[in-house]
């Protein structure tokens, strides 16, 4: 499995490309240049597993603070050595997990060492950081135009989703974004089948498409599906996130960030743990969350991970999920 790395700092990606990505453990994500002011936005948009930040002054420290408060991700900072050691300690205090001194002309051995460190840190759970004393409140997203339901499923998911959607009328006042782990090329057929099984309009999501209430948008195989506050869909063809593309975590996390308390997240039957972190993000941002119970799940893997993580507000049998969505969406 390759881990996604976002590099923050002028010229860092071009410099690191000489040796950082020689193996198959790391892949770069995001634009070639990510400046400190846009580090949080880039982190929210590209879902890295780990950040590599060039520690070149106060703006770099501010970038680390914003990321660790807005979207916690493991951070490795590179200290250029021309600064005092104080910046390194400040970076750690703000949430960076480690700091490595960067030589003026880093060679292959240095980048190999950085690569090993990034692989280790990418597997560490990042914790949201807050500074002591006064700080700028987190900027809240604009008011969402309608509620949103975001559904994640894997093995056994199509049948389960059909049962959930079968309880929902065509005048449902929210769109539904749906990520399903399925073989390449099968999402178009899934959309057609679900259209016959439910009163709702079901379609494959397209980049730039605007969602409308009463419709279901399926993440196409081979692309991550993201939602934005105004209701616009985005497709991301970047590397898999923890082995999956589309990633349930990416959909649910973007839904929580964009729709906040107007978001309802659902994890249905499936193997593995994809989606648990995203469901927790929805709950932490004031949304409501459901995990399918063990008895009615074909495979109680993904829902179980969500329960263990504390991401599920309710653990429900499959037959109660649709009616609960009808009740909750009216209160959003």
Residues belonging to the active site? 154, 181, 274
Among 296, 301, 288, 302, which Cα is nearest to 319's?
A: 296
Sign of CA dihedral 297, 272, 246, 150: positive
Between CA 294 and CA 129 the distance in angstroms is 34
Which long-range CB contacts under 8 A does 77-81 form with residues at least 24 apart?
77/53, 78/9, 78/12, 78/52, 78/53, 78/54, 78/102, 78/114, 79/55, 80/54, 80/55, 80/56, 80/104
């Amino acid at each position: 499995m390759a881990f996604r790395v976002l590099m923050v700092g002028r010229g860092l990606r071009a410099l690191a490309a000489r040796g950082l990505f020689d193996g198959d453990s790391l892949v770069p994500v995001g634009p070639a240049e990510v400046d400190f002011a846009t580090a949080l936005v880039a982190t929210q948009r590209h879902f890295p597993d780990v950040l590599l930040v060039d520690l070149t002054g106060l703006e770099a420290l501010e970038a680390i603070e914003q990321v660790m408060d807005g979207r916690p991700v493991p951070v490795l900072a590179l200290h250029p050595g021309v600064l005092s050691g104080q910046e390194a300690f400040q970076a750690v205090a703000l949430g960076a997990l480690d700091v490595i001194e960067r030589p003026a002309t880093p060679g292959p051995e240095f980048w190999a060492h950085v690569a090993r460190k990034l692989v280790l840190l990418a597997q560490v759970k990042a914790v949201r950081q807050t500074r002591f004393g006064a700080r700028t409140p987190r900027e809240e997203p604009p008011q969402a135009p309608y509620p949103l339901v975001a559904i994640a499923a894997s093995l056994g998911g199509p049948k389960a989703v059909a049962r959930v959607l079968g309880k929902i009328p065509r005048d449902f006042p929210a769109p539904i974004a749906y990520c399903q782990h399925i073989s390449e090329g099968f999402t178009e057929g899934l959309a057609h089948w679900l259209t016959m099984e439910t009163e709702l309009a079901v379609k494959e999501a397209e980049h730039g498409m605007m969602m409308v209430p009463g419709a279901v948008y399926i993440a196409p195989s081979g692309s991550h599906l993201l939602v934005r506050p105004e209701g616009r869909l985005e497709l991301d063809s970047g590397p898999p996130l923890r082995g999956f593309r589309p990633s349930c975590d990416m959909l649910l996390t973007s839904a929580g960030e964009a729709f906040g308390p107007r978001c309802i997240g659902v994890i249905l039957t499936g193997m593995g743990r994809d989606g648990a972190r995203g469901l927790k993000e929805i709950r932490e941002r004031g949304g409501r969350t459901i995990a399918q119970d063990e008895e009615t799940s074909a495979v109680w893997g993904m829902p179980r991970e969500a329960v263990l993580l504390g991401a599920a507000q309710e653990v429900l049998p499959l037959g109660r999920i649709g009616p609960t969505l009808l009740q909750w969406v009216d209160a959003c």
